[in-house]
Structure 1
């Protein structure tokens, strides 16, 4: 990769040599510098896609930013992809903060732009972002992982500027004459991160002007410890999980730090999200002493006959609706949704398609907006592929012999107000595979909780 004397901390190692390079591009100084450096590092512009999300939060200013990003893509001769979404409304539906919801939407969108198994997502997180994250986690109370800050690489996500400070980024823009936009919401103290950035960081820099660099070194040291702990926890689980349940004997013999980490990995794998230290300590108490406890997302942890397991409680009473993109999504009810994009097998024009082969696959070209994964609602109607008859979901579930106790928990995919896919039934007729289909999306819904009870 090229050397950048003005940004000696920039590190583009780890970029996939094949596939799309998806750049999270807001038009701000940091993502502008990331793109500028990538153009030098990547050599070819054909692989680059600028991915911009208009969150629907800042009105005319957000539209201005989108127009700027689109214009930059045109000038530089790279592809541009934009997602419009109402993050505030989605956050209210999910019961999470706007910041958390926005982050989930962005990364799912970025993932949807990658080729299957290839490509890299690049985001412009820098050293100051990392320091702010560490401080926010420390103030709230966190585990070792929270003090590790932002990882430079996680899966196909790469953050090349993590060792570069905000000051260096602004100097780089000034030296190169790079235009960028400024998000006015970053200048207010409305969000917790902004208060850390605008009030706390300046005071700490009075003690150490190279604060971001120092905290970055600390984060790297702690991350090495976390990686070791994760590896040991995975070894423990590999020999202790049986039929989806965790034997408590190995847990009792393990160091408390390793025990909590193993419980965390186990519970997250079962679909339990939002775990805090207090939840893990409650789960540990159950694993060592028996009984049960409540966990986030409607889960209950129990221990019986020296076997610890988690299950979703009252699943049928809790509906949800969340945005999803290509890739794996753990749903609020504990089920796992996988949307897998792949080339469609060659189909001769005029040849009748065997609908059974594509019962759970739809035409990728029909993905014209944000897909929602949700549970059923009163009045839902559906046209199963190949049948050309629209029926209520209740009637279809009866025909498919779906138990009444499970119907409220079945997963639906919706796009533009239309149901695309229904678990247990298949894909809807308007989204079916045709001889003209070039790329399809295969849908898989699994329930690790039920599989663990089998």
Structure 2
């Protein structure tokens, strides 16, 4: 096995004799096996052991065993202790809380001591168990990727090697190790897979685990191809504008694999695969105005687009003096200009040209509120802002984030949409305050 190990770490460029590593060691057969091979091959490494004190004297025995190994190999050792009471405050299962604690501590040791990586002794069956657990949780294609040989500071040099190979190496060299009695119980899903499911599968299909591993690797390669195509699709069809992401419905409605495409776009914003199914149900029956929520994000099914953005945003009233040269409003930025003569009236609804003499300074900006009214340009009667936004067909997701510019207590500009007729420029206007959107 040692020769195969040397070939593996060399072909994957996993370890370097010139570097120093931290070996996460429990005292169990896998981590002790990895330690012996590192020692025999001349690698520089230290040991990191966590005594969780969950099995009483057995846990203390593991610590003593590991300390003796450190003395035998003449390597530094770091030990920390914890207990079940600490984990109760996390709200997680003991197993998950212990895992988080362990990896967090390893990262601290790495930062403090300048280790080039943390070596973890996951092996072949651990990999298969991990993929099965992912599948049982309802994973997507990434779930069959399993654990990587190397990710960040974590290195797993034993992934190709089976329990049988490891045991033969240890017994053949007369090496001892510690047995964790908790591994014999089926209290955890992983133990159930390890002790009952996978052994039964191997009895009926002697090469079953190896065939599964080959199938998972092929699916992983297929996944890489999918994500390459997904990246191209997203680049082509998802556009960013004023802090919102837009996806044209026609580009995905009849697309093959549409649920996967939409899921991988939305998952980083907290949406689940079940949310995606609900979205397409609304798309297929045609429900413009339908909204979907995930934490602080909101997806709005508009007439032609799916629009993604923040569900709401914090906004403190903002004062605007006559001397401001720039106005930052969320993801929009406006240049503020004062024009005295020879100006042409701006027709774009995104910008605003207001009669300077009619304004009361300082101006202020706030979110629009129910009950707000203004006289839109070209009209002679007040109109509710809520009704005006409906007339302008502003998507629901954007309505919540519309701002108004006030002169005194009057709305001078529904920012980005309409100015008030009361503040419009006329032939008698001598000076203009011009809010011109900056195109980035």
Q: Give the TM interval when normalised to the shorter protein.
A: 0.5 to 0.7
Q: Counterparts of 1:185 and 1:217 in 2: how far apart (Å)?
A: 30
Match of 1:226 in 2: 223
User: Matches of residues 312-351 of structure 1 in structure 2 within 5 Å?
Assistant: none
Q: Quote the offset at 1:192 in angstroms.
A: 1.0
Query: Structure 2 vs 1, CA of residues 78 and 310 (structure 1 numbering), >3 Å: closer, same or farther?
Result: farther
1:4 counterpart (2, 5, 10) = 2
* Contact 2:131/2:145 (<8 A) preserved: yes
Find 1:82's aligned residue among 69, 79, 84: 79
Does residue 102 of structure 1 match 2:101?
Answer: no
Match of 1:21 in 2: 21
Take 1:153 and 1:39, find their aligned partners in 2: how far apart are those partners?
20
Secondary structure at the aligned position of 1:248 is classed as: strand
Shift of the 237–5 alpha-carbon distance from structure 1 to 2, 3 Å rule, reads same
Would you say the 8 A contact 1:25–1:50 is kept in 2? yes
- 2:217 & 2:121 partners in 1: Cα distance? 18
Corresponding residue for residue 33 of structure 2: 33
TM (norm. structure 1) is 0.57
Instruction: Specify the SS of the correspondent of 1:308.
Output: strand
1:378-422 CA distance string (max 9 Å, x none): xxxxxxxxxxxxxxxxxxxxxxxxxxxxxxxxxxxxxxxxxxxxx
User: Do the aligned partners of 1:52 and 1:66 also contact (CA within 8 Å) in 2?
Assistant: yes
Q: Is the 8 A contact 1:124 1:160 kept in 2?
A: yes
Q: Is the 8 A contact 2:252 2:258 kept in 1?
A: no
Name the residue aligned to 1:320: none
> For residue 135 of structure 1, what is the aligned residue in structure 2?
132
> What is the distance in 2 between the residues matched to 1:212 and 1:9?
22
Are positions 1:121 and 2:118 aligned together? Answer: yes
CA distance in 1, matches of 2:46, 2:243: 40
Cα deviations by residue, 1:106-152 (Å, 9 ceiling, x for unpaired):
22222223349972222111111112222233334322222233222
1:211 to 203, 208, 215: 208
CA shift at 1:102, angstroms? 2.4
Instruction: Give TM-score scaled by structure 2 length.
Output: 0.59
SS of match in other structure, 2:139: coil
Q: In 2, distance between residues paired with 1:138 and 1:184?
A: 27
Residue 142 of structure 2: aligned partner? 145
Taking the TM superposition and a 5 Å limit, the aligned residue runs for 1:21-420 are: 21-41=21-41, 43-45=42-44, 48-86=45-83, 89-90=86-87, 92-115=88-111, 119-237=116-234, 240=238, 242=240, 245-249=244-248, 252-253=251-252, 255=255, 257=257, 260=260, 263-264=263-264, 267-268=267-268, 272=270, 277-282=273-278, 291-295=290-294, 298-303=295-300, 306=305, 307-309=307-309
**CA contact 1:264–1:280 (8 Å) conserved in 2:** no
Q: Which entry has the higher C-alpha Rg, 1 or 2?
A: 2
Q: Secondary structure of 2:158's partner?
A: coil
- Deviations along 1:250-306, whole A, 9 cap, x unmatched? 8944956476356446543x5x4xx753245456768996644354xx554333764
| SS, match of residue 147 in structure 2 | coil
Give, in whole Å, the separation in 2 of the partners of 1:8 and 1:210.
25
1:238, distance to aligned residue in structure 2 (A):
5.4
User: More displaced, 93-102 or 218-227?
Assistant: 93-102
The CA deviation at 1:200 is: 1.1
Alignment partner of 2:135: what SS? helix
- Structure 1: how far apart are the matches of 2:27 and 2:142? 30
Which structure ranks higher in relative contact order (CA pairs < 8 Å, sequence separation ≥ 6)?
1
Confirm or deny: 8 A CA contact 2:47 2:78 kept in the other structure: yes
Q: Distance in 2 between matches of 1:312 and 1:184?
A: 51
Q: 1:230 to 1:279 in 2, by over 3 A?
A: same
Alpha-carbon shift at residue 185 of structure 1 (Å): 0.4
Q: CA 1:184/1:230 → structure 2, altered by over 3 Å: closer, same or farther?
A: same
Instruction: Judge conservation of contact 2:123–2:158 (CA < 8 Å) in 1.
Output: yes
- Give the drift of 1:174: 0.2
Mapped to 2, the partners of 1:93 and 1:281 lie a distance apart of: 35
**Structure 2 unaligned spans of 5+:** 315-400, 403-440
Give the whole-Å Cα distance in 1 for the aligned partners of 2:64 and 2:265: 42
Could you say what the CA RMSD is over the residues aligned between the two structures, in angstroms?
3.8
Deviations 1:26-55 (CA, angstroms, capped at 9, x unpaired): 1100111112222344x342xx12222233
Q: Say how many residue pairs are matched.
A: 305
Query: Which runs of 5 or more residues in structure 1 are unaligned?
Result: 315-451
